[in-house]
Amino acid sequence: LKKKVDKFLKERGAKIQIREGYGTTECVTASCLTPKDIYKEGSIGLPFKDTLYKIVKVGTVKEADTLEEGEICINGPTVMKSYLNNLKETEDALKVHEDGLTWLHTGDLGTVDEEGYIYFKQRIKRMIISSGYSIYPSRLENILDAHPLVRTSTVIGVPDPYKGQKVKAYIVLKEGIASDDDVKESIYEYSLKNIAAYAMPYEFEYRDSLPQTLVGKVAYRQLEEEEFLKS
């Protein structure tokens, strides 16, 4: 979507581009933003001047190496003091590191490059482990959403006795497009070309819409619950 909008703007003489950022409820608002004139594929930009970012090895407070994937942690003046009346969740989210600072553990996977640019991957809890491979639903969703007939998609992990989990994709087609055999075959062949074999969905389910949370995000947990009840 960013590429399409940026292309539209450039063709009409505009000197601006879409700027991507990152924020969490626990940090009140955005705390990271791409610079006005610089864009790096997949990056959410640089931390605000009064905010620190750190990538730690998942499940630890040990800082990860440059470009090594880990959990995004934030320190700054907008980080919350606590979850109201929830000591356990607070202790899980706010941790004092060796530097003596209190860091918010976001539960999100990311990396940082040599220039300090942050890259968001996805929620740690959403990661699918299939036959020992780590599969990121957001990456598969980006691929599926790029198909010209797809309006939106969601990918979940379904329990499997052999693989641990297997991948299932939910597809909502663009208005006026019917989920006939030709359309399904087009999306399947496209997926085979663009998705690694170990991450290929075992099933594509076509729906008119997907359940949403109160803030308008796809309620993927509801889809996971539906699959659990089927098993």
**pLDDT of 120:** 93
For 116-163, what is each residue's pLDDT tens digit? 999 998 888 888 999 999 898 988 999 999 999 999 999 999 999 999
- Angstrom distance (rounded) from CA 113 to CA 78: 24
> Is the pLDDT at 231 greater than 80, yes or no?
no
Question: Among 30, 21, 114, which residue's Cα sits nearest to residue 76?
Answer: 30
Question: Among 227, 218, 33, which residue's Cα sits nearest to residue 138?
Answer: 218
Provide the greatest CA pair distance for the chain. 60
> Is the pLDDT at 49 greater than 80, yes or no?
yes
Q: Please give the mean pLDDT across all residues of the chain.
A: 94
Tell me the two tokens of residue 48: 């605000």
Phi then psi for residue 119, to 5 deg, are: -125, 120
- Angstrom distance (rounded) from CA 206 to CA 178: 10
Sole residue written with tokens 């969905």: 201
- pTM assigned to the model: 0.74
- Angstrom distance (rounded) from CA 105 to CA 82: 12
For residue 46, list its beta bridge partners: 33
Question: Among 160, 173, 164, 180, which residue's Cα sits nearest to residue 207?
Answer: 173
DSSP state of 190: H
Q: Quick one: what percent of the chain has pLDDT higher than 70? A: 100
For 76-125, what is each residue's pLDDT tens digit? 999 999 999 999 999 999 999 999 999 999 999 999 999 999 999 888 88
For 188-228, what is each residue's pLDDT tens digit? 999 999 999 999 999 999 999 999 988 888 999 999 999 88
> Is the pLDDT at 5 greater than 90, yes or no?
yes
